[in-house]
Structure 1
């Protein structure tokens, strides 16, 4: 089955769905597809059903009786029955669904989209599916390729875990991710890396934000970036204006939304540790454990360990539109809701935008480049993990933050420190930045031995480098300069 021409990327996801749908076995099989909202899951599965002649049912938030009525009508239309099914319980609905047959006994793809809505109204549904997929039911069901899809990540993540009824039943578990920063630039059709980074810092790699939400409106160049933000993000008449609020409202596990918004605001303001978040909210750090766990489970935030302190970690917001909202829009919400005030808010928020939104996002992009795109010649070896970290400096009674820390394996298969790096978005990096990295390397050498002396120094900048630093890098391969062009097109 050829991937639809209008589908951007998603080659891996499409190939896995095709493999699942093309399985020739006579037994029913189960697949689970999940991912944050607006990533194109429904588009993928609908395309698969169109290509295979499968059954697609999009659930809505409804009572059990209403859902059964809608499901029965949709299944009857698929089978070209003149009279809809009248199911009184999901037990009989599942029995009929699992008995659906295609001409010649071919496997039939059946998609239940927004499955969490169905399970919320009918909590027994996963157990009914477990029974239908069990060994004792194999003689009664056809070769149905059942796909359950949902955007509630905490629910979908638990569907196959622990003691869940469907654990061990699935032969496909597919997560549809957001587009990474390079793919996002290609999706938006942006070739200027600075403009691509700015757009990505606001809307990330969610495909819907580049199409339906802006009706194809894309900034022409860097000069048009500010007007584009005013047209589409700070405009109360456009869907991106309230998108960050809806993202939290759509997650069923987020009950105390005020607390969750507060946690996200604390992180967006630069408080990345649990203690820092607690201080911002004027709460005890022990009171935030549940909220942080739920936000992690729903994919709103990620927790990244400190490279040098195993028990220390930092929290970052995973979705850029949430950072933009909590750092810039939420504090100005009363003004932004009045049409025509966006330009004034945008003008007075430039410092916040670059320091709280673009700067932290640029750091994340630099770590992503180092993890997935940087070559072994650049890093001086094969990388195994990329993190950030803090190095103490006892003599100076201070500590140094490292934006990029790269670990790898040496010839004896022992973990070694390949590289450390500093990231600056709006600063031209000079010899002072390089000297700081050299000093930190010496601190690490004193702690980790002579192996750290070979650690490479990575300088990332969105504003360029001085001639003096370029000269050092030209003479010494242990110093690597990474600008925007290299981030988007090099290794």
Structure 2
């Protein structure tokens, strides 16, 4: 059976295929945020594997088992199941235990919906795994979009604790693979689309054909567009008190990134904010960042939203809901496009980090940002063994970069306390619009690494190199 085109996910597919080829039973948990491509990944895996793919829906257990029975009847040519469907999960699992001796995959996509229909389902699977399934060659794969519920299935309080043989957390795609969804766009437009959509395949598909400004207006700034209501839907699906989480995410999206700033902006107690930030971190929606030279226990950390689309949504949708509801999105779209460089500059640093990881002047043991008393350096990469350190600034502007950026960087590096007097320093500038002749001459004299948009395009889209 052929499914949707699957981009990237080589590592996840390799894990599934390797586990499938083993003798003995497997119990694999696959999870990740909505729209991230979990179903496409599993369907791609099924193209070359013997097994059956079940999709769980919001319905009663009776309806679900009847639908599964009908599917089994068609795919395995067992017509009797249409008239005598399974009535319990026990009977369905017993059927596969008794009829499949070779390696055979049973995928239950959106498994939390099955649990909603029968909350005792984890206990049923635990019982069958302990008594029968683990003695077979069946490969049980359960998948879900509710990160909270799926992670609870891995927790020690769950009946399934200790039964899983592998877990796969399907994350967002990097910029290089995101570009594969945007083949009709120029490289600069790819950066804009990625700044809005992040690495979520379903969002990137929405931006794959039409001009960027049309996609923003039609796919996000319209009341009937799924991306318009996507963030509220996501938060309400995962969280019991979305109101407080909305306040926290809105604060971070508007630049209140320290704990005290978030507390002051939202008006909630520090303990409450700390608790809710922890949940957002567990859901991979928020990430705590520290300066690369600080210890992990540093109190100087800041919080960032770890999803480009959520940042965009709070910045441009949440604060303009009244305008969108009145169908006045055309002017809003113009204002977004006017701020394109500012919007992209926040994400350009991520893209540049990815580029440097692909083109390392030396082996990195750590990569991150640095800040101290008002000074900031976009990217620092270092090697704790060889004491090599790279300082990099990224510029996403319409003008060429001159020597002032480099000279300011040199001054700031004097305050980076790392590696001692004998550290080996490398300087790097990445500029969307290139460099002035004066900067190029200085780079040649001082052995500074310079990269522009052409270099980035050659790295990220080799077949479309300039």
TM tier relative to shorter chain: 0.7 to 0.9
Counterparts of residues 299-318 of structure 1 (less than 5 Å): 299-310=284-295, 311=298, 312-318=300-306
- Of 94, 97, 116, 1:99 maps to 97
Instruction: Look up the SS of the partner of 1:218 in the other structure.
Output: coil
Q: Which digits, 9 at most, give the CA deviation of each residue in 1:86-128, with x for residues without a partner?
A: 425x4x24642551524xx322210111112223443332233
The count of aligned residue pairs is 453
Counterparts of residues 270-281 of structure 1 (less than 5 Å): 270-281=255-266
Q: Which digits, 9 at most, give the CA deviation of each residue in 1:231-283, with x for residues without a partner?
A: 333233432232233222332xx111122122211121122222222222133
Q: CA deviation at 1:3?
A: 9.5
- Of 27, 52, 56, 1:59 maps to 56
Distance 2:67 2:268 in 1: 46
Q: CA deviation at 1:196?
A: 1.0
Give the match for residue 194 of structure 2.
200
Give the match for residue 461 of structure 1.
431
Distance 1:97 1:403 in 2: 58
Change (3 A) 1:84 1:248: farther
Instruction: Look up the SS of the partner of 1:85 in the other structure.
Output: coil
Q: Which ranges in structure 1 are unaligned for 5 or more consecutive residues?
A: 220-224, 393-398
Change (3 A) 1:63 1:116: same
Distance 1:313 1:151 in 2: 29
Instruction: Look up the SS of the partner of 2:366 in the other structure.
Output: strand
Q: CA deviation at 1:330?
A: 1.4
Give the match for residue 419 of structure 1.
390
Distance 1:5 1:236 in 2: 27
Counterparts of residues 3-402 of structure 1 (less than 5 Å): 6-23=5-22, 25=23, 27-64=24-61, 66-75=63-72, 77-79=74-76, 80=78, 81-88=81-88, 90=89, 92-93=90-91, 95-96=93-94, 98-99=96-97, 101-102=99-100, 105-134=101-130, 136-137=131-132, 142-190=136-184, 192-211=186-205, 213=206, 217-219=209-211, 225-251=212-238, 254-310=239-295, 311=298, 312-339=300-327, 341-350=328-337, 354-355=341-342, 357-370=343-356, 372-375=357-360, 377=361, 381-392=362-373, 399-402=374-377
Distance 1:161 1:451 in 2: 47
Q: CA deviation at 1:74?
A: 4.3
Instruction: Look up the SS of the partner of 1:19 in the other structure.
Output: helix
Q: Which digits, 9 at most, give the CA deviation of each residue in 1:330-369, with x for residues without a partner?
A: 1111111223x222112334565543x3222122222333
Change (3 A) 1:470 1:84: farther
Give the match for residue 396 of structure 1.
none
Q: CA deviation at 1:309?
A: 2.7
Kindly indicate whether the alpha-carbon contact (under 8 Å) linking 1:441 and 1:455 is maintained by their aligned counterparts in 2: no
Distance 1:287 1:263 in 2: 11
Kindly indicate whether the alpha-carbon contact (under 8 Å) linking 2:196 and 2:309 is maintained by their aligned counterparts in 1: yes
Q: Which digits, 9 at most, give the CA deviation of each residue in 1:459-490, with x for residues without a partner?
A: 2323332222222222223x222333333434
Q: Which ranges in structure 2 are unaligned for 5 or more consecutive residues?
A: 461-466
Change (3 A) 1:93 1:249: farther
Change (3 A) 1:6 1:444: closer
Distance 2:55 2:221 in 1: 32
Q: CA deviation at 1:407?
A: 1.9
